[in-house]
Structure 1
């Protein structure tokens, strides 16, 4: 499966893209600790990261449209420069020498999110241009998903070590450097340079959201995001219940490791089922396993259960990316791919907020149980006929299309 990395032009774009994407994996922790240290309030730090995350998610489709219109080099460099400037401004305001107003820190946090370059979506467009539709592209997207899981596993560890040795503002500086340098190196690659954009805000065939059935794909992935967001809250709560707060990181690592393994296995399997059927099966499987794990009381079994839940995450995303790539209208590939992430992140954000309330009132197990019921309900409630329509188009496209 890793053979896709040896295709001409891949590593020249993929490696710097990973450097740039690592910024997102590091910046949330750095932002939280920097604002908390400056204001002496975890509540303010939480608000800052919430402002960053919400701004990133809600503005993602419009940033993707800018890339499809103006090309990767112009649009991504402008965004990366804006985000790096925001991180550096926050670093200066939280270095202990300034007395920054909380509203200013929130505004800069939101601004940093608004200008976040969607490097993952941009890289998937590059993958599509360098691979043949079908199994080769599925393997490429699986490798990409595995690498992203590794980034979110290692990123907090790296920036945490940097902050421990220096200070939170330095962590923000590292995030600024990685997003700027990684983006600059990625867009300087020939594969990225060839994606010059349409030059106008016109997408033939209508916007991705107007494609028949695409909204239902996003609805299914919203349920997948619900489980992701709940796990982020429930894992630390379960660890605290066992008087092992330090185990929270290992529990989340087990979830990420399961997702990475799922992406590896999914990329190697030669599945004959329709791509829409796969998406529904993955959602139902994830929900069923989550409900089962919610009854687990042993910390060790809970860690193993999280790894099992994680097995469904990367394959669900890869399937969503394949559908988005296959049915995206001309000039709207980046936007279509970004909507997949937006659906997942929106579900995760809503679940994180709701899970915290449920954990306080009814316990961590009940919160995970409710989260597992959501993908089951959304998958079963999704009109299969419409989903099959878009899935059939995606299957035909991935089977019959020539080189990307």
Structure 2
């Protein structure tokens, strides 16, 4: 049977322009954490304040995520995303001006928190749009795969762009640039004809169908919280690691290596058929991810740390993809967007906590301790989730007679491979939107 290509995806009428505008806006999520961290650190002189600012951004992003998703459904993507895009960009601009004027750390943290509230969910909305514009359901796995790989490329180039801007013009310029990119990309996306034609959702789920009430779903969230905690630790400790060696701009290169490893891992994972059940895969991948992160505490220099981060990335996308597939398997079809939002929330919550704690540890105990503590706490979480592997496997297994369980598990593609992205609309994590 013929297999649709990435080129076929982009040949869908209007798809290339729509996808391109979404990627422009989503680039802001690849630059916001690092530019915010470095701007606040340069203004206040402390990584504790910088970590608190990025942590506040992450926490409010997590808390507001379900509300933002409901707003997009209720009012339609054009109205909701335009408002969010304007307020998100304005909050980042205000934070940048605060850094330039040496505003109190508390004010910078509050402004960062406000920005997190209004971060527009362009990734989620773009994946919903793929399902709307695809002429054939068979092309959707390839569309989601293209989306996931492109996002990883954004998170490879984003930190590099921040590093370049920091080297040439300073961290605040990088923060201003992030605000501008977010506004332009969101506006272009919202004004596209396919987005303007998208109406509000009308399906209402019953309380017992909600993802959090499904057996096994909280276990997935626990594992993803551990994954997010490692990411948050890395995003704070890596800039501190390079600053200790008077090479702050190198932090962008190191974080880009993490994203590059994730892209490679996702491609390899998505083009192979895997026999182990999804529950087993999530356990193995999440434990391997945390184990590699612990090695970062032993890195003596930037080159070694870069190699470790690339290796860490190899497990990131596969872990998250597996979690999304499990979320599909555990929930009914009409609540899978909500399920994806909760998986993002778990990761982003972990990122926020990891960033805040790592900022304090960096200032008081150094980067080695920050890496070690982050890996230890994350290890406890993923092992706790791993202890429920059997129950999770039962909950996500197909029902007797071949019927899907709890809304139907996501099946591999017809050639036996696993899609590189989720089989329902969603986002890859790490505070990405």
Q: TM-score, normalised by structure 2?
A: 0.76
Say yes or no: does 1:270 pair with 2:282. no
2:26–2:123 contact (8 Å) kept in structure 1: yes
- Quick check: 1:226–1:351 contact (8 Å CA) kept in 2? yes
Give the aligned CA root-mean-square deviation in angstroms: 3.9
Tell me, yes or no, if structure 1 residue 6 matches structure 2 residue 10. yes
Picking from 123, 127, 130, the partner of 1:127 is 130
Q: How far does residue 310 in structure 1 lie from its aligned partner after superposition?
A: 1.2
Secondary structure of the corresponding residue to residue 410 of structure 2: helix
- Residue 340 of structure 1 corresponds to which residue in structure 2? 343
Which structure shows the higher helix fraction?
A: 1
Aligned to 2:199, the other structure's residue is in SS state coil
Aligned to 1:377: 383
Task: Find the residue that maps to 2:120 and give its secondary structure.
Answer: coil
Deviation at 1:268, TM superposition (A): 1.8
Match of 2:410 among 365, 376, 398: 398
Q: Within 5 Å, which residues of 2 pair with 1:195-214?
A: 195-198=198-201, 202-204=204-206, 206-214=209-217
Taking the TM superposition and a 5 Å limit, the aligned residue runs for 1:239-388 are 248-290=251-293, 300-325=303-328, 329=332, 332-355=335-358, 360=365, 363=369, 366-367=372-373, 370=376, 373-374=379-380, 376-388=382-394
Aligned partners of 1:288 and 1:376 also within 8 Å: no
The worse-fitting range, judged by mean Cα deviation, of 12-21 and 48-57 is 48-57
Give the Cα–Cα distance (whole angstroms) in 2 for the partners of residues 171 and 264 of structure 1.
Answer: 30
Range that drifts further, 11-20 or 316-325: 316-325
For 1:318 and 1:44, locate their aligned partners in 2 and report how far apart those are by CA, in whole Å. 33
CA contact (8 A) 2:287 2:379 kept: no
Of 86, 89, 92, which residue of structure 2 is paired with 1:84?
89
Distance 1:390 1:157 in 2: 39
Say if 2:262 and 2:314, in contact at 8 Å, map to a contact too.
yes
Answer whether contact 2:266 2:314 (CA < 8 A) is retained.
yes
TM-score by length of 1: 0.81
Count of matched residue positions in the alignment of Structure 1 and Structure 2: 401
1:144 corresponding residue in structure 2: 147
The answer for unaligned runs of 5 or more in structure 2 is 399-404, 415-422, 425-433
Matched with 1:66 is 71
In the TM superposition, residue 186 of structure 1 has moved relative to its aligned partner by 1.9
Unmatched tracts of structure 1, length 5 or more: none
Please give the per-residue CA displacement for 1:58-117, whole angstroms capped at 9, x wherever unaligned. Answer: 211221122222222222122112112223334455554xx8565544333222111111
**TM-aligned CA distance change 1:233 to 1:400, over 3 Å:** closer
Displacement of 1:333 in angstroms is 4.1
Indicate how the Cα distance of structure 1 residues 102 and 357 shifts in structure 2: closer, same or farther if over 3 A, else same: closer
Correspondence for 1:15: 20
Aligned-partner Cα distance in 1 for 2:113–2:123: 20
After superposition, the Cα gap between the structure-2 partners of 1:127 and 1:280, relative to the gap in structure 1 and judged at 3 Å, is farther
| Residues in 1 aligned to 2:315 and 2:137: alpha-carbon distance in whole angstroms | 20
Q: List per-residue Cα deviations over 1:296-355 (Å, max 9, x = no partner).
A: 667655533332221110112222333445655565444322222211122233334445
Between the aligned partners of 1:190 and 1:123, the Cα distance in structure 2 is 13
Comparing 242-251 with 182-191, which one deviates more in the overlay? 242-251
